[in-house]
Structure 1
Amino acid sequence: MPDALTMDKIVSLCKRRGFVFPSSEIYGGLGSSYDYGHYGVLLKENVKARWLEAMVRERDDIVALDSAIILHPQVWEASGHVGGFTDPLVDCRFCKKRFRADQLDDAQCGKRPSKHPGETDDCDLTEARQFNLMFETRVGPVEETGTKVYLRPETAQGIFVNFKNVAQLARRRPPFGIAQVGKSFRNEITPGNFIFRTLEFEQMEMEFFVPPAEADEWYRYWIEERRAWYLRLGIRESHLRVRPHDADELSHYSSATSDIEYLYPIGWSELEGIANRGDFDLTAHTRASGTKLEWVDSATGERYTPYVIEPAAGLNRSMLAFLCDAYDEELVGERERTVLRLHPLVAPVKAAVLPLLGKDAEMAGRARALYEELRRVLSVEYDDNGQIGRRYRRQDEIGTPWALTIDEQTLEDDTVTLRDRDSLAQERLPLGRVRERVLDLLAAPWSSPKAS
């Protein structure tokens, strides 16, 4: 029976197989900053692509946007971030660790992890201080005369300040949405748990503008729609739940918020939040900018400030959830196999082309030809290095759903072996049908074979 999944196992696999590396590692690293290797980039791009498909390409009521990372500083004053985007902070003079004052009961003492900060005689906590979560920088070549600006802590405000532009040009009327994927930056007090909470991260946010009377209906719709998206991409239902926020948890702009939570190795934690933001944002920017951000029906003359329903997901957290849910260990032929059972649509590489004998010129030639054919339509990999069993294991660990092996029989009858990652079943098929077969498999329904 394999041991329970730990974050250490995920971290080890990610570094070993080139998904994620500590940033600036040769200089000792920078806390909670990470670089994404080849397979990490491909995995992230696939998650983004599936999100954009679900949000934009497959719908008529949502359009895309890519707003600037550095916005006018008044944007953050109007949104409440400058005055209110702070957390209470305490330091322990003994262990030198920093904690959120409102989360001491959930934190671990720096010297005695079984205790909470403040529970031991050695703990020496400072008074709580407010800690600004936004990164400041300056625009202008001379520091003394430059304008103080901020790296955005969320992508949402870039959508709100563009509401008028999009409403006029996109030929949409409420209910309609604006979707954006991009980087955000937060000077986190307690970053950690690998890529779960980092200083810079990517968000997948959509602001859905609705008539005020329809806000609750759309709020409930988007909770279920976003939950279903994770299930469709293979996340096990037993590891996913919806948790409505209590009244004392709600942000100042929210009348209702629910978190879609995933059961990470660190416990149940937020994967995505869905909030009913009301008309707070458009009203605040209207008041601060003097520009009316409202919907006007040209036919009837009706005008109102739309309410906003916001599904906001972290790309890094989504990637981590897919990795955790896919990670599996099993015994195959008395040898332990580590495998990422990723949904094929999310997997970094869809198929691996493997000549049984890499130094055999004829086998290698057939394999390269097949690889060149498939790479035009799929993310595929060619691997002729090492024993075939080791190559299978390598592909299993990066989540490749199918392996295509060219062997002696291929030279006789132009057939190849297709091996399935999850079942280990093999089938023989003609070289001329490989592309069609892999594309059919990719389009077929898929669910995790892991026990719930």
Structure 2
Amino acid sequence: MSQSPATSLQDIVGHAKEYGFVFPSSEIYDGLQAVYDYGQNGVELKNNLKAVWWKAMTQLNDNIVGIDASIFMHPLTWKASGHVDGFSDPMIDNKDSKKRYRADQLLEAKAEQYEADGQPEKAQALLAEMGRLLSAENLEAVRELIIAENIKCAVSGTANWTEVRQFNLMFSTQVGSVAEDSSLIYLRPETAQGIFVNFLNVQKSGRMKVPFGIAQIGKAFRNEIVARQFTFRMREFEQMEMQFFIRPGTEMDWYNKWKEARMKFHVAIGLPAESLKFHDHEKLAHYANAAVDIEYKFPFGFREMEGIHSRTDFDLRNHQELSKKKLQYFDADLDENGKPYGNYIPYVVETSVGADRLFLATFCNAYTKETVGEGDSEKERTYLKLHPALAPFKVAVLPLVKKDGLAEKAQAITNSLKSAFRTTYDDGAAIGKRYTRQDLIGTPFCVVVDYQTMEDDTVTIRHRDSMKQERVAISALKEKIGYEVSIERILEAI
């Protein structure tokens, strides 16, 4: 058995569509750029990932609770958060191809090229200079840096660049029944602000004590000018965020704790440690005093999958100032002098992972091609090596043939397992083809009903990854398979 060459993004996109994981949105109308629909298997995998994240946050931590805030928020929310004035990307156009690029991504790609060429110092120097210029909002110098690095358009092959300009990424719409009386509001560009404006509601109603966290899973929207790389960068996407409220001065301890906890999560769901790394931000967001990304090695290179940020008291303080409502916490615990800490605006450490990026990383990691057999019997095998708890279907029940009562027996077994975990029944085509169908969507176990089943109530379980088979009593199936496919296996590893 040997592994096939490295997976390409084209392999991933093709497999995702063919086997019901991800479809281009509105495809019958030629699609809509950077918008995708999750198919019947994709939605199961994505929901399983969200369920694991939610339980890891709210079930394993006594001091973290969840909310579900609305997508529409008062427009002053985005003024306080800084999005109205500062939520933009530096864009640059090539005059010959008319193609638009993000200036920072052009420079980051050049830095990656330096890394690949064995010049890490040059890569780091370029990223540091880019960070300095963007922080200073010196867009003309950013353009000059692109030209100095001899960065050319991939389409035209020229360096005939326009000036660098900032484009705000928020989608806007109107609320109100009469156009003249309508008010401008925004589709939220992140889910975090729904947590911040509900900070006191949750704290008081839940009698929460600092430190505590609020978790949320929800849709967000960004008018990405350069949207690419499948579901990695989309205009409509889903975030899984947790804001952890802490006493000022303790933020770096909690920042480092959450860094390690989040890396442990990704390994627990099956992402290999060697395909993950931390990447500290060269340029900090306006709200942060420390920031790091957890990057995964996608087919197109290491890219951000999750961000951990020390947001200070930026958000709560700005909301307090603009709303004129106190967003403070009274801390009755005693300091080193034996006095209560008293009232303060908490600091925040944020963990924010894209559900779509986590889906893509999980899918890329699971996609496996290998050569099995030898000589004339050698063939290529493709399957999704998903953690059993994440697989869309946990088990497929397959009658060896459809006659002699085997099909009826298999259907009865299917019905007995459905209440415990997602089960499918398949009696079409030869047994080998049915194994392949389940491999291609990542089903970890196939239960085969044969003639011996009719004699002793035992079945064969075929394991997806090893293709090994074992004989098991029907009465033991629910417990045996249930143990393997339980989210509990992942939570134990966290």
Question: How high is the TM-score relative to the length of structure 2?
Answer: 0.85
1:322 to 1:15, Cα distance in 2 relative to 1, 3 A: same
Name the counterpart of 1:340.
Answer: 384
Name the counterpart of 2:337.
Answer: none
Say which SS state the counterpart of residue 41 (structure 2) adopts. helix
Give the letter aligned to residue 150 of structure 1: Y
Say which SS state the counterpart of residue 302 (structure 1) adopts. strand
Name the counterpart of 2:322.
Answer: 288
Deviation, structure 1 residue 346: 1.2
1:79 to 1:313, Cα distance in 2 relative to 1, 3 A: same
Name the counterpart of 2:347.
Answer: 307
Deviations 1:265-311 (A, max 9, x none): 01010010000000000000000001111111468581111100000
Gaps of at least 5 residues in structure 2 are 111-149, 334-339
- Quick one: distance in 1 between partners of 2:368 and 2:422? 23
Q: Which of 322, 328, 331 is the matching residue for 2:368?
A: 328
Contact preservation (8 Å) 1:118, 1:124 = no
Name the counterpart of 1:394.
Answer: 437
Name the counterpart of 1:100.
Answer: 102
Deviations 1:250-278 (A, max 9, x none): 10110000111100001010010000000
1:119 to 1:315, Cα distance in 2 relative to 1, 3 A: closer
Give the letter aligned to residue 318 of structure 2: A
Deviations 1:298-330 (A, max 9, x none): 685811111000000000000111111111111
Aligned residues between the structures: 439
Q: Is 1:268 aligned to 2:308, yes or no? A: no
Deviations 1:416-440 (A, max 9, x none): 0001111111100111111111113
Name the counterpart of 2:130.
Answer: none
Deviations 1:40-96 (A, max 9, x none): 000010000000110002221000000010100000001100000011222234223
Deviation, structure 1 residue 385: 1.5
- Quick one: distance in 2 between partners of 1:423 and 1:70? 49
Gaps of at least 5 residues in structure 1 are 109-113, 448-452
Deviation, structure 1 residue 364: 1.1
Give the letter aligned to residue 351 of structure 2: P
- Quick one: distance in 1 between partners of 2:259 and 2:168? 30
Contact preservation (8 Å) 2:151, 2:159 = no
Q: Is 1:34 aligned to 2:77, yes or no? A: no
- Quick one: distance in 2 between partners of 1:224 and 1:93? 45
Deviations 1:186-222 (A, max 9, x none): 0012111000000000000000000012111100000
- Quick one: distance in 1 between partners of 2:462 and 2:155? 55
Question: How high is the TM-score relative to the length of structure 1?
Answer: 0.93
1:161-172 equivalences in 2 (<5 Å):
161-172=197-208
1:252-267 equivalences in 2 (<5 Å):
252-267=286-301
Contact preservation (8 Å) 1:272, 1:311 = yes
Deviation, structure 1 residue 446: 7.4
Say which SS state the counterpart of residue 436 (structure 1) adopts. helix
Contact preservation (8 Å) 2:71, 2:188 = yes
Say which SS state the counterpart of residue 405 (structure 2) adopts. helix
Name the counterpart of 1:450.
Answer: none
Deviation, structure 1 residue 104: 2.8
Say which SS state the counterpart of residue 173 (structure 1) adopts. coil
1:430 to 1:347, Cα distance in 2 relative to 1, 3 A: same
Say which SS state the counterpart of residue 212 (structure 1) adopts. coil
Deviation, structure 1 residue 124: 4.0
- Quick one: distance in 1 between partners of 2:11 and 2:36? 17
Deviations 1:325-373 (A, max 9, x none): 111111233121101111111111111111111x326111111111111
Name the counterpart of 1:153.
Answer: 189
Contact preservation (8 Å) 2:389, 2:484 = no
Deviations 1:83-136 (A, max 9, x none): 00011222234223211133333569xxxxx96329967554332222110001
Deviation, structure 1 residue 169: 0.6
Q: Is 1:230 aligned to 2:232, yes or no? A: no
Contact preservation (8 Å) 1:105, 1:116 = no
Name the counterpart of 1:134.
Answer: 170
1:151 to 1:361, Cα distance in 2 relative to 1, 3 A: farther
Name the counterpart of 2:313.
Answer: 279
Quick one: percent identity of the two aligned structures? 49
Q: Is 1:352 aligned to 2:396, yes or no? A: yes
- Quick one: distance in 1 between partners of 2:185 and 2:152? 37
- Quick one: distance in 2 between partners of 1:63 and 1:392? 41
Deviations 1:126-185 (A, max 9, x none): 322221100011101233321100000000000000001011011210100000000000
Q: Which of 285, 291, 299 is the matching residue for 1:251?
A: 285
- Quick one: distance in 1 between partners of 2:178 and 2:11? 47
Say which SS state the counterpart of residue 283 (structure 1) adopts. helix
Q: Is 1:51 aligned to 2:61, yes or no? A: no
